[in-house]
């Protein structure tokens, strides 16, 4: 039975930290203002705009300490990450989840935060939010439907998302727990205590900036590990800014994706709005959804 953190109410506090890459404090100001407009208090961690001069938002110890404080603080009702990048995997095994497990709160983010999503679901059965982070509020992003989907999720409103059809979609309907995230991270988590569980679940995958051959390699790793064989359904999100080698790989991205699942019979959709672009719906990891793939479009509906 999945454990779902409580919905937020007016006056609750959202913490903002950076457990991986560096983010300048000014890049979170629009997010902070918007969250306050929504009726929440905001508390920022030391890793947002910290003193780091490296890729990371602080040393492993500093990032761990900042996140641990937010996890343990009972006055903080949700944690929104500033950005992803790389670094969460360096500290995940040192996090103490004891207090968090007694009083779960929404963990919000995507990309490198896939590490935390998968770890929480696999080990504790606690739901978290794969959703836009602080940087996505900039450039008037706070006005779009994807940021609004985060607001609705935090308030406990039922999600019903509709997307365009795709020529390669495989029709059908499936219901199951939703799991997934960034393909690169899920492949790297194989063999660890954070390895994803997919059997009888709806899996979603997305990625950015990868070589075509590497996407193919990571998908085959998931397949060889049995992660694609017994799915209820599969959602391919955005695979953006893909690159090719000097000597071409020989297949386009959608051909790579469809080839990996051609032997299975569960419903599959492509280009669903979950990605590293502004098109990134809030999805609750571990919560039951129904996926409907039809000729004229796709619907992902949260079950209540």
Q: Where in the sequence numbering do the catalytic residues fall? A: 111, 206, 276
Q: Are 184 and 209 in contact (CB under 8 A)?
A: no
Helix (H) / strand (E) element for 257: namely helix 253-260
Distance between CA atoms of 49 and 88, rounded to whole angstroms? 17
Angle at 116 between CA 61 and CA 204, to 5 degrees: 150
Cα dihedral 138, 140, 142, 146 in deg (nearest 10)? -100
With H, G, I as helix, E, B as strand and everything else as coil, classify residue 233: strand
d(CA 85, CA 113): 9
Could you tell me the strand order of the sheet in which 283-285 lies?
A: 41-44, 13-17, 78-81, 106-109, 128-130, 283-285
Name the packing angle between helices 253-260 and 212-224 (round to 10°).
10
């Amino acid at each position: 039975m999945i454990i779902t953190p409580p919905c937020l109410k007016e006056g609750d506090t959202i913490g903002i930290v950076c457990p991986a890459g560096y983010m300048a404090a000014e890049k979170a100001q629009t997010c902070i203002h918007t969250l306050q407009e929504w009726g929440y208090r905001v508390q920022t961690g030391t890793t947002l705009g910290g003193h780091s001069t490296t890729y990371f938002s602080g040393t492993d110890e500093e990032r761990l300490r900042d996140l641990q404080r937010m996890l343990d603080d009972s006055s903080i009702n949700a944690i929104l990450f500033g950005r992803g990048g790389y670094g969460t995997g360096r500290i995940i095994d040192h996090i103490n989840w004891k207090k968090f497990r007694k009083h779960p709160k929404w963990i919000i983010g995507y990309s490198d935060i896939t590490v935390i999503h998968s770890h929480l679901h696999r080990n504790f059965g606690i739901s978290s939010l794969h959703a836009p982070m602080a940087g996505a509020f900039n450039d008037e992003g706070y006005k779009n439907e994807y940021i609004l989907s985060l607001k609705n999720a935090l308030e406990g409103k039922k999600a019903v998302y509709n997307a365009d059809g795709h020529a390669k979609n495989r029709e059908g309907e499936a219901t199951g727990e939703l799991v997934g995230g960034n393909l690169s991270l899920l492949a790297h988590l194989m063999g660890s205590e954070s390895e994803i569980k997919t059997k009888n679940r709806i899996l979603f995958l997305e990625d950015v900036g990868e070589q075509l051959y590497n996407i193919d390699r990571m998908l085959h790793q998931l397949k060889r590990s049995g992660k694609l064989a017994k799915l209820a359904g599969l959602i391919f999100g955005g695979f953006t800014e893909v690159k090719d080698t000097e000597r071409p790989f020989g297949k386009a991205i959608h051909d790579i994706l469809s080839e990996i699942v051609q032997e299975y019979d569960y419903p599959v959709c492509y280009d669903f709005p979950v990605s590293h672009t502004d098109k990134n719906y809030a999805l609750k990891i571990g919560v039951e959804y129904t996926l409907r793939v039809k000729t004229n479009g796709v619907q992902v509906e949260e079950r209540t």
